[in-house]
Chain A
Amino acid sequence: MRHLTRQVFNSGKFVVGFSIFVGILLIVIIYPILFPYPPLEIIGQGNFFPPGLYVNVYDSIFTSHYILNLDDATANRIASKLDSEDRLAIQKWLTASGFPESEIDIENTAQLLDQWTNNFDPTKRFPGMTNADRNYFIRLNNSLKGLLSTEGAIIAVENPETASLEEAGVVAQNDYIVVNEVPNVRLLPLGTDNFGRDVLTELVAATKVSLIIGFVAGSIATLIGLILGLLSGYIGGQVDDVIMFFTNLLTVIPSFVLLILISFSIGQEQRGAFTIAVVIGLTSWVWTTRAVRSQVISLRNRDHVNLSKLSGHSISYIIIADILPYIASYVVMALILQISSAILAEAGLSILGLGPRTTEVATLGLMLNWALIYQAPILGYWWAFYPVIIVIALIAFSLNLMNTGLDQVFNPALRE
């Protein structure tokens, strides 16, 4: 046994797969301890906030301000407001108004703004310029005006008696705060989703639920497959015929179709994560049955099994003592594959809208489903779907790698 373990861990593929999988497991276990946020809590008002450090504006006004005179502050401020499209638009307007093209450098922000403020005239029209274009330039001009001001922003407080605004303070352009001193700061490394939930926290919770679904479904499928495969392979005869008839039937009839029919019939209200896991397990045992059966048939007439039969051991004893140890490696490999395909099946079902109820738990499939319903891929909200897909792929990849590694250990012909 120890020798076998060492051999398994000598397989590079297995080790890589195992490390990734253990890494995912550790994150799923440790993250909720470090950050005990409720995963389904809606914190964002609005959908798909971008990833980043969220600093409370109100608090930052009233924490201590420090004055830092940094040379590039103005340039940065302007640059962040003036994207490359705006720069090109300015260049277009200037050249159209007869400004020499060679003097325009769209990378030189200060010079560009200077040229713009000195030359822009909202009444000017050029051939081919639509009304929409003209309005765009006017809007652009207005937004740039504020940028060039060197005045601070005034903070006003409403006087409850006179209902008029009174100056409470000024935020200068060179005022800074220290993030650590702001009492309310929240890091959202993966932003928020369509409901305004913290995607990272939700993702960790969803990974956990999906792994549980995979494990429950995989165990059910492996158990059924193991029992049927043993019965079919060891007893043979009519038992074998009957079991193989159903196994072959369910091999060709796509299990995903059965999953859809059953999940739909259960109805939205009854579909919990556990129910889905059981349904997936009940529809995906055929491959394990086939694999176990063929292994058992090749073992059935080995010497040690015959000896055990001659010694008068019972069928259950023979199966446990003389057959199971020899097929254990195949069963483990089958379980690994079942887990990975169950996780994918849940994701597929959820995308179809037949996954677990949304309100109770998050699963990887549900997260993807909502991201798709809200068209996150097309709108460019990558944080709502890429991390989910990466996690699904990593789980499946690590399990497949482990399986390939085990396969190479147990079937030496596959080693190079």
Chain B
Amino acid sequence: MKGYRRYFVGKFLWFCITLVAAFILNFTLPRLMPGDPVAAIVSRLAQGMSNTTGVQAIYEQYAELFGTNRPMLEQFVLYLRNVAQGNFGFSFSQYPRTVADVLRASLWWTIILQFPAIIVGWIVGNTLGAMAAYRKGGFDKVLMPISIFMSSLPAFGMAVVLLVLFGVTLKWLPTSGGYGFDLIPNLSGRFIWSMFVHYQLPFWSIVLVTIGGQAIGMRSMAIYELNADYVRYSRFMGIKDRKIVGYVFRNAVLPQITGLALAIGTMVSGALVAEIIFSYPGLGTTLLTAIRGQDYPLISATTLIITIMVLVANFAIEILYGFLDPRIKAAQAD
């Protein structure tokens, strides 16, 4: 257990460092660009909104909130304090809603959509990849090109294909939104059913794309492990094939978990774009409306939330990995 604690502390420190780095990047990147951000925002505001009192209120709020005329360092401290308090200011495009309010609504939609989809895609993809490596032959020959093709299709492409096929042509499933437009979110059976139906297309587009990539990765890892020397030795010591397959897949799945930790950012990014195709009320669609509305505070906060979400997921996978790979405890014990 001592070894694991060490691993955990190490990973936690790294998590904190990445978090700080994410804050710094999120703060500095927009400010590094040439031009005066205040002037740019004012000009965008003037063309973006008709409500002049609203413009004035947001402008004052913005100037105070971000302290744009103070030194950089002071601005950063101010930014950190605001973030810590969950205060991201008003949304330009959805005034008078606050950014925090807008994000609170969409964050949960994204979480309930993406994480189950990525996990299901990961599990199914790895199972198929393992089967392809073990069974070889026809199964492998059919599955591999399909997997390569599916993983080549970007999530938004898969989303459009599913949308047209099941939503427009077959009319089995609704094409946009998170629930029926005539409903108000509540816990009634009708609302939950509507949510479930609207969930299907975005969910499966993410799942299908994830399956392809994972199956290819798992197949390579499993083939590599199947040719490992311990497989041959275990066979010649009389151990049953089924048990050896167990060793192989356990060992092959471990790098797939690390791979997931590293790739989760890319997967989430892809899935965010897929959300847009379905106008799913998650962070992806929020980001799109923010960009269309030139809503700087909302963009900044959304990207920050996405980054934090990815970092937390990455940290969680690493922690889980520590439990699953016995070598972690052993290697760090002494």
Contact = CB atoms under 8 A, between A and B. Distances in A.
Is A bound to B?
yes
Interface of A: 248-249, 251-258, 260-262, 264-267, 340, 344, 347-348, 351-354, 368, 372, 377-378, 380, 382, 385-386, 389, 392-393, 396-397, 399-401, 404, 407, 413-414, 416
B310 A351 contact: no
Nearest to A264: B299
A404 B213 CA distance: 12
A215 to B, nearest CB: 18
B132 to A, nearest CB: 10
Given A252-B265, A257-B306, A392-B153, 20 more contacts: A248-B14, A253-B21, A253-B25, A253-B307, A253-B310, A253-B311, A254-B265, A256-B266, A258-B29, A261-B25, A261-B300, A264-B30, A351-B156, A372-B276, A372-B277, A378-B175, A380-B164, A393-B152, A396-B154, A414-B223
Contact of A389 (B14, B157, B227, B262): B157
Contacts of B17: 249
Interface string B160-171: 110110011000
A356 B17 CA distance: 33
A372 B160 CA distance: 9
Given A264-B30, A267-B35, A344-B154, A401 B148 contact: yes
Contact of B291 (A251, A353, A382): A353
Interface in B249-300: 261-262, 265-266, 268-270, 272-273, 276-277, 287-288, 291-292, 296, 299-300
B161 to A, nearest CB: 7
Interface residues of B, number: 60
Nearest to A256: B269
Contact of B310 (A252, A347, A407): A252
A266 B34 CA distance: 8
A257 B283 CA distance: 12
Nearest to B277: A372
Contacts of A351: 156, 273, 276, 288
Given A267-B35, A351-B273, A413-B223, A256 B164 contact: no
Grouping DSSP codes into helix (H, G, I), strand (E, B) and loop, the A interface class, with mixed when no group exceeds half, is: helix
Given A261-B30, A261-B303, A372-B276, A378 B168 contact: yes
Contacts of A354: 291
Contacts of B287: 260, 352
A249 B18 contact: yes
B163 A377 contact: yes
Nearest to B270: A348
B292 A413 contact: no
Interface string B1-45: 000000000000010011001100110011011010000100000
Contact of A261 (B29, B151, B277): B29
A254 B22 CA distance: 10
B95 interface: no
Contact of B273 (A257, A266, A352, A378): A352
Contact of A255 (B265, B288, B299): B265
Contact of B152 (A258, A347, A396, A407): A396
B160 A249 contact: no
A293 to B, nearest CB: 14
B176 interface: yes
A252 B175 contact: no
B265 A253 contact: yes
Nearest to A416: B136
Contacts of A389: 153, 157, 160-161
Nearest to B262: A251
B314 A252 contact: yes
Contact of A254 (B156, B168, B175, B268): B268
Nearest to B155: A348
A414 B149 contact: no
Nearest to A284: B266
A248 B224 CA distance: 26
Nearest to B311: A252
B220 interface: yes
Contact of A414 (B224, B303, B311): B224
A95 B311 CA distance: 66
B310 to A, nearest CB: 5
A267 B37 CA distance: 11
A333 B149 CA distance: 18
A380 B277 contact: no
A252 B29 contact: no
A39 B30 CA distance: 34
B148 A397 contact: yes
B277 A257 contact: no
Determine which residue in B26, B160, B268, B296 has the highest number of CB atoms from chain A within 10 A of its CB, and name it: B160
A392 B157 contact: yes
Contacts of A344: 154, 270
Contacts of B25: 253, 258, 261
B30 A352 contact: no
Nearest to A385: B160
Contact of B288 (A264, A352, A399): A352
Given A252-B262, A414-B223, A257 B288 contact: no
20 contacts: A248-B14, A251-B262, A252-B262, A252-B265, A253-B22, A254-B265, A256-B266, A257-B307, A258-B29, A261-B299, A264-B30, A264-B299, A344-B154, A347-B156, A353-B291, A385-B160, A389-B157, A397-B149, A400-B152, A414-B223
Contact of A257 (B18, B33, B269, B276): B269
Contacts of B14: 248
A266 B29 CA distance: 10
Nearest to B273: A348
A253 B29 CA distance: 14
Contacts of A251: 262, 265
Contacts of B311: 252-253
A266 B152 contact: no
B151 A400 contact: yes
Contacts of B220: 407, 414
B291 A352 contact: yes
A255 B176 CA distance: 28
B160 A377 contact: yes
